Copies of this chain bind each other. A is one copy, B any other.
């Protein structure tokens, strides 16, 4: 069970007038984690990364508990819950860093359907065998996020 770990710094302005990190901002956090994750699909060769050539088709996001701005980053765990012919689904947990993941405080659970995209031709494209191989290492069940 391999998971991508992203340490996500907060900004003071992520809070809204109620003094909590605004619900929309968590999608920004997921974007940062996802870009960091996908960037590893095309390392070193300088080509446009998978993250560049992809579009978001769908998000689901559950807010478990409120988060207040603080200097310590939150941890975002990402993994892959589905690999289709022309799409993949990423699941995430936004949580506190913890010695043991099993008891870390969770703020958000979410998932995103990503469609690889050929930016030049402006059309969706299929997932390559190489990409599939990379993604399979992160394949796991959706977990606590209700279907």
A contacts, CB < 8 Å to B: 9, 11-13, 15-19, 22-24, 27-28, 31-32, 35-36, 55-63, 66, 69, 71, 119
Contact = CB atoms under 8 A, between A and B. Distances in A.
A36 B12 CA distance: 10
A66 B54 CA distance: 12
A16 B12 CA distance: 9
B62 A58 contact: yes
Contacts of A16: 12-13, 15-17
18 contacts: A9-B9, A11-B32, A12-B31, A13-B16, A13-B22, A13-B31, A16-B16, A17-B19, A18-B119, A23-B31, A23-B55, A23-B56, A24-B24, A55-B63, A55-B66, A57-B62, A59-B59, A59-B61
A90 to B, nearest CB: 13
Interface of A: prevailing SS: mixed
B63 A60 contact: no
A12 B35 contact: yes
Nearest to A117: B18
Given A12-B16, A12-B17, A57-B62, 7 more contacts: A11-B31, A12-B31, A17-B69, A18-B119, A23-B31, A23-B55, A24-B31
B23 A24 contact: no
Nearest to A115: B63
